[in-house]
Structure 1
Amino acid sequence: MIKKLRKKFILINMSLVTLVLLIVFGVLCFTNYKRYQMDSDIALNHALSEGRGSLLPRMEMRPRQEKLPINMGALFVIALDGEGNILNIDDSGVDIDQEDAIEIAETVRSQGEEKGLLRSYQLRYQIKKTEQGNIIAFVDASREINGMKNLFTASALVFAGGFLAFFVVSLFLSRWALNPVEKAWEQQRQFIADASHELKTPLTVILANLSILSNHQDRTIREEKRWLENTQTEAGRMKELLDNLLFLARSDAMQTPVVYAAFDLSNVLWSCILPFEPLAFERDVLLEENISPEISFLGDEGQIKQLIAILLDNACKYVKPKGKITVNLEKKQEKIHLEVKNTGDVIPKEELEHLFERFYRSDKSRSRKAGGYGLGLAIARTITENHRGKIRVKSSLEEGTTVTVVFDT
C-alpha cells in the first residue's frame, strides 16, 4: 500500500510539474513568436506605406513611432500588374533576380492569403492591392525561424533537465512526506497483531474451560467452580482489553468526548489513592502522599480519574517489595504538576521513549505476571494530550521510576 501511495504521489507531483513547465514554456514561445511576427508586420507595413524606393537608405531622422525594429531582416517589394506580371522589384540592395521574383510571386498567389509565411523561402509577406495591381512586400524571416528553433531547443533541454530534477526531488519528497504515513501504517499493523495475540490468550483459556465443563456434565457447579471462576477472570481481562482498545481507537478517530468542567483535583486524587492503600499494605509498600489542597482543574473528571488510576496501578505493580510509592500534586507558576514515583527496577534509557507505545512492555515476562497489556501508558498519554498536557518518565537507581504529568491552568 505504501509503495502504491508513493507512486501515486510521484505521479501526481510530476503531472503538476509537467503541466506548469508546459504552460511556462508555451507562454514563452508564444510571446516570442508574436514579437517576431509583430516586428515583421511593422517592417512590411512600413515598406507598403511609403511605396517604391522607400527601402533605400536615408540620412534624415524618422519619427520615433516610425522607427523600424532592430531585428528586422532584409526587405524587398515586388509590384505586379492586374494580370500578375512583374512591373518592378524594389530590392534595396538585396540581390533578387527576375526568375526568383516570379517564382516567389506565384507561390504567394497560390496561397491565396493577404499575409503569411513562406517557410521554404524563409520569407514573410504582405499584399497591398492598388489600382494598377498588387504590391507584395517581403521581409527575411530566417532570423525569426532560427530564433524560434533555438528557443524550442533550449526550452526542450531546460524542460528535460527540470523534469529530471523535479523527479529526483519528488522521490525524496515522497519518502519524506509519506514517512509518517508509513510509520502509522506499520504501527497499525503491529497494533492489530498485538491485539490479536493478547485476545487469543484469554479466548484459549475460556474455550479450554468450557471444553472441560462440557466433559463433566454429571458434576455440580460447586465441583466445577474453579473452571467457572477462571473463565470469569479471563472474560473480565478480555473486557478490560477491549475497553482499552476501544478508547484508543476512538481517540485516533478524534471521537473521544471530553466533557470539560471545573473540579477539585486534590479531592479527586485522594479518592483515587484510597482503593490502592489496601494493596500497598498487603505488599508491605509505603504509600506516601504530598498533595496540595484545593487545586482546581478544568477538564474531564472521568478521564483524569482513569489517568491517575493507570499511574497508581503501574506504580503498585512494579514497586519493589517493601518499597515506597510517592504521590505529589502541587501548583508551580500557573502549572499543575502530578508526580507518581515508585522504587522499582531501573528502566534502561533507550526504552524510556518507547514506554508510551501501545503494547510495549519493558519487561514482558514481569508484565505478564502482573497482568498488564502494555496499553496503560498509551492511554495515559492520550488523556494527557486531550487536556493539552505533557507526560514524561524518568528512571534512575537513586530515585526509582517517576512519571510526571504537567497541565496548564
Structure 2
Amino acid sequence: MIKKLRKKFILINMTLISVVMVIVFLAICMFYYQWSKAETYEVMDKVISMKGGMEPRVFEIGGRGPRNPEAFIPTFTVLLDSNHEIQTVGKDRVSISDESIEEVTQLVLASGKIDGTLLDFQLRFLTRQTPEGFKIVFADMGREIESMTNMVTMLVFAGIGGLAAFFFINLYLSGWALRPVEKAWEQQRQFVADASHELKTPLTVILANTGILLSHPHDTISDQKKWVEYTQAEANRMKKLVDDLLFLAKSDAYRAPALVQTNVNFTDAVWSCLLPFESYAYEQGISIESNIAPDITLQGDEGQLKQLVVILLDNACKYAGAQGTVTFSLERKNDQIRLSVNNTGVPISQKHLDHIFERFYRSDSARAREHGGFGLGLAIAKAIVDNHHGRISVESNQAAGTTFTVIFSNKS
C-alpha cells in the first residue's frame, strides 16, 4: 500500500509540475511572440513614414543608448499609384525578384487588410495611404521565426531538465513525507498482531476450561470450581486488555484534552493512589518513599490523572527488585507541576528507552508476562499526559535507577 501511495504521490506532483511548467512556458512564448511582433510593426511604421526612401541603418555597438531594431529587421517598401500599379520599390539590403514583389503586393491588395502576415513568404506587411501614394511595407519574419524556434528549443530542454530534477526531488521527498505514514502503518499492523496474540491466550484458556466443564455435565459447580475461577480470571484479564485498547483507540480518535475538565486537587489524588500500594510494597519487601507537596491543584480529568499515578507506581513496584526502593515526588516549580517516580532495580538499556512508550513493547517479555502485563500501561500513561498537554520522559542508569518524570503546565 505504501509503495502505491508513493507512486500516486510522485505521479500527482509530476503532473501538477508539468501543467504549471507548460502554462509558464506558453506564457513566455506568447509574451515573446507579441513582443517580437510589436517590435516588427514598430519598425514597419517608422519605415512607412519615411519620405524619399530608406535612411541608412546604423548598427550600435556598446553604449547604453536604445537598441535600434530596424538595423536587424530587413524591410522593403512598395509605392502604388491610384490604379494600384507599382511605381517604386525601396529595398535596403534585400534581395527579392520583381515577380515576387508583384505577387506579394497582389496578395496584400486582395486581402483588403491594413496589416497582416504572408506565411508562405514569411513576411509581415503594413499598408498606409500617404501623400506620396499608397504604401506597403514588408518585413522579413525570419528573425522572428528563428528567435521563436530558439526560444522553444531552449524551453523544451529546460523543461526536460527541470522535470528530471523535479522527479528525483519528488522521489526523495515522497520517501521523506511518507516515512511517518509508513511507520504508522507498520505500528498499526504490529498493534493488530500483538492485540490478537494477547487476546488469543485468554480465549484459548477460556475455551479449554469450558471444554473441561462440558466434559463433566453431571458435576456440580463446587466440583468444578477451580475451572470456573480460572475462566473468570482469564475473562477479567481479557476485559482489562480490551478496556486498555479502547482507551488508546479513543485517544487516537480525539487527540484532544480530557473530556471531563475540573479543578483537581492533585495532592489528594496522589495520596489516594499511593496509600493502597504501601501494603503491596510491604509484601514484596519494597519500601516506598514519598515527597508530596500540599495543595497542588491541576485542571484535568481526575480519573485519568489517578490512572496515570497508578500506572507509574505499579510499574515502579514491579521492577524495583528485591529489597528495592520506590521514590515518589510531587512538587510545583514556578508554573509547572512536576511528578516523578523512581525505582531501583536493573536499569533499562538505551535501545529500549527509545521504545518504552510504544504499545505492547516490553524490554523484557518474560518478566512482563510474569507480572501479568500487556505492554500497554506506559502507552496509556503517555496518552493521558498528552491529553493534559504535558510531557513525560524516562531516564535509567545503574547509579540512579529508573525515573519517570511528568511535567504539567499550570498557570492557575
Q: TM-score, normalised by structure 2?
A: 0.90
Residue 366 of structure 1: how far off its partner (Å): 0.9
How has the CA–CA distance of structure 1 residues 288 and 18 changed in structure 2, closer, same or farther, with 3 Å as cutoff? same
Q: Which residue does the alignment assign to 1:220? A: 220
How far apart, in 1, do the equivalents of 2:55 and 2:405 lie?
95
Consecutive unaligned residues of structure 2, counting only runs of 5 or more, are: 59-66
Residue 230 of structure 1: how far off its partner (Å): 0.9
| Residues 157-196 of structure 1, C-alpha deviations (whole Å, 9 max, x = no match) | 1111111111111111101111111111111111111111
Q: How does 1:2-401 map to 2 (within 5 A)?
A: 2-50=2-50, 53-57=52-56, 69-70=69-70, 72-80=72-80, 85-92=85-92, 94-108=94-108, 113-128=113-128, 135-254=135-254, 257-401=258-402
Q: Is the 8 A contact 2:255 2:387 kept in 1?
A: no
Residue 396 of structure 1: how far off its partner (Å): 2.0
Residue 258 of structure 1: how far off its partner (Å): 3.2
Q: Is the 8 A contact 1:261 1:300 kept in 2?
A: yes
Of the structure 1 ranges 300-309 and 323-332, higher mean CA displacement relative to structure 2 is found in 323-332
How far apart, in 2, do the equivalents of 1:249 and 1:259 lie?
18
How far apart, in 2, do the equivalents of 1:351 and 1:58 lie?
84
Q: Is the 8 A contact 1:43 1:68 kept in 2?
A: no
How far apart, in 2, do the equivalents of 1:168 and 1:329 lie?
53
CA RMSD of aligned residues (A): 2.4
Q: What is the letter of the counterpart of residue 46 of structure 1?
A: K
How has the CA–CA distance of structure 1 residues 132 and 83 changed in structure 2, closer, same or farther, with 3 Å as cutoff? farther
Q: What is the letter of the counterpart of residue 99 of structure 2?
A: E
How has the CA–CA distance of structure 1 residues 318 and 75 changed in structure 2, closer, same or farther, with 3 Å as cutoff? same
How far apart, in 1, do the equivalents of 2:392 and 2:93 lie?
91
Percent of residue pairs bearing the same amino acid type: 49
Q: What is the letter of the counterpart of residue 350 of structure 2?
A: K
1:227 alignment partner, SS class: helix
2:248 alignment partner, SS class: helix
How far apart, in 1, do the equivalents of 2:132 and 2:42 lie?
24
How far apart, in 1, do the equivalents of 2:213 and 2:112 lie?
104
How far apart, in 2, do the equivalents of 1:47 and 1:288 lie?
103
Report the count of equivalent residues. 401
How has the CA–CA distance of structure 1 residues 68 and 347 changed in structure 2, closer, same or farther, with 3 Å as cutoff? closer
Residue 150 of structure 1: how far off its partner (Å): 0.8
Residue 269 of structure 1: how far off its partner (Å): 0.6
2:357 alignment partner, SS class: coil
1:144 alignment partner, SS class: helix
Q: TM-score, normalised by structure 1?
A: 0.91
How far apart, in 2, do the equivalents of 1:138 and 1:397 lie?
95
Residue 80 of structure 1: how far off its partner (Å): 4.1
Residue 113 of structure 1: how far off its partner (Å): 4.4
Q: Is the 8 A contact 2:43 2:70 kept in 1?
A: no
How far apart, in 1, do the equivalents of 2:320 and 2:298 lie?
29
Q: Is the 8 A contact 2:57 2:70 kept in 1?
A: no
Residue 17 of structure 1: how far off its partner (Å): 1.3
Q: Is the 8 A contact 1:80 1:133 kept in 2?
A: yes
Consecutive unaligned residues of structure 1, counting only runs of 5 or more, are: 60-66
2:259 alignment partner, SS class: coil
Q: Is the 8 A contact 2:362 2:375 kept in 1?
A: yes
Residue 85 of structure 1: how far off its partner (Å): 4.3
How has the CA–CA distance of structure 1 residues 71 and 355 changed in structure 2, closer, same or farther, with 3 Å as cutoff? farther
Residue 79 of structure 1: how far off its partner (Å): 3.2
Q: What is the letter of the counterpart of residue 326 of structure 2?
A: I
Q: Is the 8 A contact 1:40 1:72 kept in 2?
A: no
How has the CA–CA distance of structure 1 residues 395 and 234 changed in structure 2, closer, same or farther, with 3 Å as cutoff? same
